[in-house]
Chain A
Amino acid sequence: MAGSTPGSLTANGAGAAPKRRARSHSPWAEAWRRFRRHRLAVAGAVILALMALAVLVGPLLYPVPINEIDFSAKLQRPSWSHPLGTDDLGQDILARMLYGGRISLAVGLAAMLIAVCVGTVIGAIAGISRGSVDAALMWLTDLFLSLPQLPLLLLIIYLFRDTLRVLVGPEVGMFVLIVVVIGGFRWMPVARLVRAQFLSLREKEFVEAARALGATTTRQVTRHILPNSLGPVIVAGTIDVAAAIIAESTLSFLGLGFPPDIPTWGRILYDAKDHLDIAPHWALFPGGAIFLAVLSINYIGDGLRDALDPRQVM
């Protein structure tokens, strides 16, 4: 039948249905078992973990200042003294990438958290209340889905950046602004997913049983419906991290994200793009880092979809 073909074909041997075992497993162990079978997803997880480790402890192990200007060593190719070469001011690219990677990855995670929280709350309210509240919230969701996101992102950052810079300082202000704005434009798919899950779960027998036993709506939602609808949300959240990393890099690449003294990967790429002919390495390393992070996250999302949400075909 239509649904019997697993959605992701990157899963090796995905054709075989999970065998019933005599021993009982917790749902999470079962999900982990399915995730492990998706070899590319595991590879993605390992690569992403290595990248996260590198940006977390890298600056400690590689204590080269990110803003040490040395014109005698500008635009150098990778060498032993500068493993990834230098930029037009002679700054060490590896050090800048290790430092900037923290911000790039942190923006991705934080924006995803905002998107998932907002989306879950809105989807849950819509799914549990139905009626006019549901209709209004879904109209809002559809409206947000049809907004041109990048122009609006640029517009909002253009309008608000100076105020926030004065208010909480350039780095924190920009971080908060970018995270909030990116997260604020990415919650809609999560809201739709959660609502759809709620609509089907609230009619299931176990929820009915809870209701019959006198559970309040809050208890039904928090104890029974929400935990069971988390699978697709986790998958969507994973993909959101990748989308947020791309969104931040795009903003920085257009010169409208973080200021030059915060070298996120997109920002390094922006600085590098006018020197492509003499220093291609300068653009290739940060671009490659973004690509690798996004590819790993997408594969992890694919594996998680097989692990947590076996019915969905995408």
Chain B
Amino acid sequence: MGRYLVRRLLIAIPSLVGISVVLFTVLALAPGDPFEELATNPNVPSEVRANLRKQFGLDDPIQVRYVRWFGSMMKGDWGFSFASRVDVDRLILQRLPVTIVILGSSLLLALLVALPVGVYAATRPYSVFDQIANTFAFIGFSLPTFFTGILFILIFSITLDWLPFVYRADISATGWRWFWEHFKQSIMPIAVLGLFQGASWTRYVRSAVLDVIRLDYVTTARSKGLAEPVVIVKHVVRNALIPVVTLVALQMPLVFGGAIVTEQIFRVPGIGSLLISAILANDTPVIMAVTFVFSCLVILFNLLADILYGWLDPRISYR
């Protein structure tokens, strides 16, 4: 297991480098120059500008600039936010926990919906339950997250007045009350994201279980006299999950997109809403850093998926 982990970590490095190359290329190709303002300012003589450009290495060949940029990204030196006047890494560390909590709980919710529903639907294909579940799954992943969010606000905040629709980070209460307030304001963002994911995962789980459930080894397990729940949980689901993990890991970038939208709708102070406000404020260092963090998260989830494979299918980890 340890060697497997190390190998997977090593495989993650090229993709991190690749993503950083793409990011840097986009930035380098983009029109505009950090010293544009100086160029139009008549009070700054051109030799000063040239010196400044030299000092910051803007005239170096692009590969040199890339290596320098990547090095400082890795060291945690992410620059200074123009808009909020703090270091970018501090800003992101402030915002990241909220995003991770919301994202993590919504993925958990999606799992709790998709796994039982998908498995139950697949054990009774074409039954009424299966039809209903499938219809809901179809509706669920055809509803864009921004529209679900608005519908939830309309129903639960405005019509029923049960839940607050603006996420507040500064809740003064303590103890249980603090927890309860946070729980209440997190319900809607988590539900929006979780149900959207759960809908598409349900379809994956159902088709994966359908693929497995008629294989001979399942019949063998049944004819051994094992109870049906044991057959389903230990023999069917474990094997069915292997392709599901692949699809879920592939979908992770999409999930982050949904997270950005959800944070924006409910004004959750996570890195997604930070990205939007940074874009609206032309705050380039923050934009670059948040995009980079999202890339790292994608790679992290791919890594998690690989580790899950190893657990689901022992043949992989000992290979």
Contacts and interface: CB of A to CB of B under 8 A. Distances in A.
A151 B275 contact: yes
B211 A147 contact: no
Interface string A133-148: 0000001001101111
Given A156-B26, A277-B158, A298-B138, A151 B256 contact: yes
A249 B145 CA distance: 11
Interface stretch (A31-39, A199-207, A287-295): A287-295
A155 B287 contact: yes
Interface residues on A, range: 35 or more
Contacts of A146: 15, 19, 253, 295, 298-299, 302
A286 to B, nearest CB: 9
Contacts of B144: 246, 249-250, 287, 290-291, 294
A48 B244 CA distance: 31
Interface string B129-158: 011001100110111111100110110001
A10 B138 CA distance: 10
B154 A254 contact: no
A24 B135 CA distance: 35
Contacts of B215: 2
B254 interface: yes
Contact of B280 (A1, A160, A255, A269): A255
A242 B142 contact: yes
Given A277-B158, A313-B207, A269 B146 contact: yes
B260 interface: yes
B264 interface: yes
A1 B210 CA distance: 10
B260 A151 contact: yes
B226 interface: no
A115 to B, nearest CB: 15
Contacts of A299: 138
Contacts of B298: 146-148
Contacts of A280: 154, 158
A276 interface: yes
Contacts of B254: 149
Interface string A270-314: 000100110010011001001100110011001000000000011
A273 B30 contact: no
A21 B207 CA distance: 30
A276 B26 contact: no
A143 B22 contact: yes
A178 to B, nearest CB: 15
A50 interface: no
Nearest to B125: A5
B71 interface: no
Contact of A9 (B15, B125, B151): B125
A105 to B, nearest CB: 15
Given A10-B138, A273-B150, 16 more contacts: A1-B214, A2-B211, A2-B212, A3-B211, A9-B125, A143-B15, A151-B290, A158-B279, A158-B282, A160-B31, A249-B144, A255-B276, A255-B280, A291-B143, A291-B144, A295-B138
4 nearest A-B residue pairs (beta carbon): A150-B257, A159-B30, A148-B294, A287-B147
Interface of B: 15, 18-19, 22-23, 26-27, 30-32, 125-126, 130-131, 134-135, 138-139, 141-147, 150-151, 153-154, 158, 203-204, 207, 210-212, 214-215, 250, 253-254, 256-257, 260-261, 264-265, 275-276, 279-280, 282, 287-288, 290-291, 294-295, 297-299, 302
23 contacts: A2-B211, A5-B125, A9-B125, A9-B131, A10-B134, A10-B135, A15-B126, A143-B19, A145-B250, A145-B253, A151-B294, A155-B279, A155-B288, A159-B26, A159-B27, A250-B145, A254-B261, A255-B280, A256-B280, A291-B142, A291-B147, A313-B210, A314-B207
Interface of A: 1-5, 7, 9-10, 15, 139, 142-143, 145-152, 154-156, 158-160, 162-163, 242, 246, 249-250, 253-256, 266, 269, 273, 276-277, 280, 283-284, 287, 290-291, 294-295, 298-299, 302, 313-314
